[in-house]
Structures are given as structure tokens and as C-alpha cells.
Amino acid sequence: MSETSRRYYPVSWEQLHRDAKALAWRLAESGPFKGIVAITRGGLVPAHIIARELDIRVIDTICISSYDEETQGDASVLKSVGGDGTGWLIIDDLVDTGKTGRIVREMLPKAHFATVYAKPAGRPVVDTFVTEVSQDTWILFPWDTEPQYAKPIAKARAGETVVP
């Protein structure tokens, strides 16, 4: 999703840890896996958590970038891996339009592809995920956010400017 995102779904470090562990529980039944291919950069944190839970020590990366902040452009593949993916687990933080997921599936058609979060357009591309959010939601990951002053509801509703 891009400029049309109408709402935000903020995810804390604790929630991400909990959701990635929930994904590991689901994946435990689909393994064992030879190793994990993390889709950088968003897949790196969930890949670590899942590797720890499933006792996987071999981790490779596919490096793909397609978003500048909330706007999607052409996907550029900065690093790939060889093989057809047999026995491997691909991990990303989420599928949105499914563009990134389709690229990695084409590269590794035999791998199991899992994400923590999924939006409806990308959902058919993943084998396993934990939480679905609507297509017009932008997921705010903890590495992209920091705590800041929030207006009291009454002042926000009145449209008043509050200097923190």
C-alpha cells in the first residue's frame, strides 16, 4: 500500500517478538528446514527470532528493496541465492501487494514462504502467516518509530495546536 494508507497499525518490539514466536509455532509443524533465507531488511528481525525458536543456525539473505517510505517503486534485487529452495524457509516481515513475495517465489519455487503479517493482496503468495491487516493499513514497525508526545483527545478533536 502507498499514499492511500488510511490507518496505521503500530507494532511494538514486544508484539513483534510475540507474533514472530507464534509464526515459529506454526512453522514447527512444516519443518525441519535446512536453513532460513531472510528477505532484507524487514525479514531480518523475524528471521532471527524464528531461527532461535526452531534451532536453525544457517541463514542466508535475498536483498530486495521496493519502497521509499510508504511509496512503492520498481523492486530492485540487490542480492539473490542459488538453488530451487528445496527444504528452505523464506522469512519476510510482511506481504503487502505481494510483489516482493512473487519475486522470491520465482527464485526459490520449492521453498516454504512465511511472513509475520499479510495484507489481502499478498496473502495468496505466502504459505504461512500470523496476522492479517486490511489493505489500506500501514504497519508501523518498531525500527521505524519512536515514542513522542501525543495530544490529549479533547485538544486533538478541537484541532488545537499543542506545543509539547
Ligand X SMILES: O=P(O)(O)OC[C@H]1O[C@H](OP(=O)(O)OP(=O)(O)O)[C@H](O)[C@@H]1O
Ligand Y SMILES: O=c1[nH]c(=O)c2nc[nH]c2[nH]1
Which residues are catalytically annotated? 92-93, 96
What is the contact mask toward Mg ion in residues 41 to 60, using x (rule: CB under 5 A)? -x------------------
What is the contact mask toward ligand X in residues 49 to 88, using x (rule: CB under 6 A)? ----------------xxx----x----------------
Q: Does the protein bind ligand X through residue 46 (CB under 6 A)?
A: no
Residues 54-113 that bind ligand Y (CB under 6 A): 67, 94, 96
Pick the binder of ligand Y from 86, 144, 152, 155 (CB under 6 A). 144
Give Cα 75 distance to the centre of its chain: 16
Q: What would the grid cell of residue 151 be?
A: 495530544
Pick the binder of ligand Y from 33, 88, 113, 138 (CB under 6 A). 138
Residue 85 φ/ψ region, left for φ over 0, alpha for ψ in the -120 to 50 degree band, beta for the rest: left
- End-to-end, the C-alpha distance of the chain in Å comes to 31
* CA dist., res. 89 & res. 30, Å (int): 10
**Binding region for ligand Y (CB under 6 A) out of 24-32, 50-58, 73-81, 133-141:** 133-141
Phi and psi dihedrals of 89, rounded to 5? -115, 125
Q: Is 6 exposed, middle or buried (0-12, 13-18, 19+ CB in 10 A)?
A: exposed
Q: What would the grid cell of residue 126 be?
A: 505466502
The residues binding ligand Y (CB under 6 A) are 1, 67, 94, 96, 138-139, 141, 144
Residues of the binding site for guanine: 96, 139
The residues binding Mg ion (CB under 5 A) are 42
